[in-house]
Amino acid sequence: MTQVSMTVNGGAVVADVEPRTLLADFLRGEMQLTGTHLGCEQGVCGACTVVLDGRIQRSCITFAADCDGADVTTIEGFDDDPTMQELREAFSEHHALQCGFCTPGMLTTARDIVLRLGDIDERALREELSGNLCRCTGYVGIVAAVKKVAAGKKPDVAAAAAPVISRLDGPRSPPAPSSPQTNGPVTRTPVPAMAASVGESAGGTSIEERVRVAAPAEKVWSLLSDLQRVVPCVPGAEITSLDGEDLVGKVRIALGPIKVTFNGQAKVGMDTSKREGWLTGRGRDAGQGSSAEGSARWTVVADGASASVIAVVLTWKLSGPLAQFNRAGLVHDVVRRLAATFAENLEAAITGAAPPRRKALGGLGLIWSVIKARLFSGS
Ligand code: FES
Ligand code: FES
């Protein structure tokens, strides 16, 4: 296996790939970006076209391992691109698709033509499009649609080459987690101001949750700074080994029929004077092939003399079968209930009232309580 780091649709991705893994298979299988289609799988039809470092590229004949450090944009990454928006509308207007199989590659190529060459004559346009084959529509409508969008436009090579998502995204917060293989020091920067409660960006999904614990801040912090005691309070989490800042452990997740166990490593840091802590890590589930990377930042604030509030910002990015749970809206309720369970367990650990629960993250009861709440709230 080879480890590769790349940017896909504006988000940092670190993955282990076989030397023979093709970029198209990686995007579709690992990233669930199935808008990249596979037709001929030998570089002829253009269905698999993506933008790689500012140039269109056939992902079916590109090795993922060769994309270390690359910037990849798939059809999913053009959602907010104005040229792509024009092209989509023109394709509809001119009936430039039927089954749609060739369409993602056709649109990606068409956008490149419009931005790189501007308003060119039809002969040149047909030549430029000749690397993308359509087996059902014919090319009259496709050419008419691209001509309409290109009309009157000047070449804009810089726009064609710039990574689309990076230009559209604002700054990412918190920063992407460091790789567990990195032996550098843990970042010691102060915890930034808490982010919005739910957010999704190409860099990952973030949720902020605040839980109130019926115990003084110093007692809560004392427990939170002892990872061997606090991790069992997180449903489904378990420490395998802890050596200074380096933590190895596992998290069991049960979301309906999906049951995975992420084994991973993390780096942990704490600032006792500010009652702040942070963790960055990544893990992989060998069974389902999902991988996760993320970070957590937490701080404890006194809420009167006998209570405190723990504010936590979680940021994660999932790939593989669990990628659908990158949508913050889908998991926000689960996280809220998870946080409530964590707070109960924490209080119990502080007061000695009951042993912490060890059920898997997102057990059936948890999922059912979320579904029920949504059903009866009518949301
Ligand atoms: S699938 Fe890549 S060119 Fe046909
Ligand atoms: S629309 Fe069907 S292959 Fe092009």
Decide: 15 in ligand 1 pocket, CB within 6 A.
Answer: no
Q: Residue 104 in 3-state DSSP?
A: helix
Whether residue 52 contacts residue 71, with contact meaning beta carbons closer than 8 Å, is answered with: yes
Ligand nearest to the CA of 100: 2
Ligand nearest to the CA of 59: 1
Other beta carbons within 10 Å of 192: 11
- Please give the pLDDT value at position 324: 54
CA 342 from centre of chain = 24
Phi, then psi, of 229 in degrees rounded to 5: -90, -35
Domains of the chain, each with CATH number or no CATH: 2-78 (3.10.20.30), 82-168 (1.10.150.120), 198-377 (3.30.530.20)
Mean pLDDT by 10 residues, the chain (379 residues): 93 92 94 94 92 93 93 94 96 96 97 95 92 92 98 86 44 33 28 37 65 86 85 81 89 67 87 88 79 83 87 76 56 64 78 57 43 41
Whether residue 235 contacts residue 340, with contact meaning beta carbons closer than 8 Å, is answered with: no
Decide: 216 in ligand 1 pocket, CB within 6 A.
Answer: no
Tell me the H-state helices in the chain.
23-25, 82-93, 103-117, 122-129, 140-150, 157-161, 164-168, 217-224, 227-230, 328-351, 364-377
Decide: 26 in ligand 2 pocket, CB within 6 A.
Answer: no
- Please give the pLDDT value at position 322: 64
Cα of 138 from ligand 2 centre, angstroms: 8
Decide: 101 in ligand 2 pocket, CB within 6 A.
Answer: yes
- For residue 39, the ligand 1 atom closest to its alpha carbon is 1
Q: Model-level pTM?
A: 0.48
Ligand nearest to the CA of 47: 1
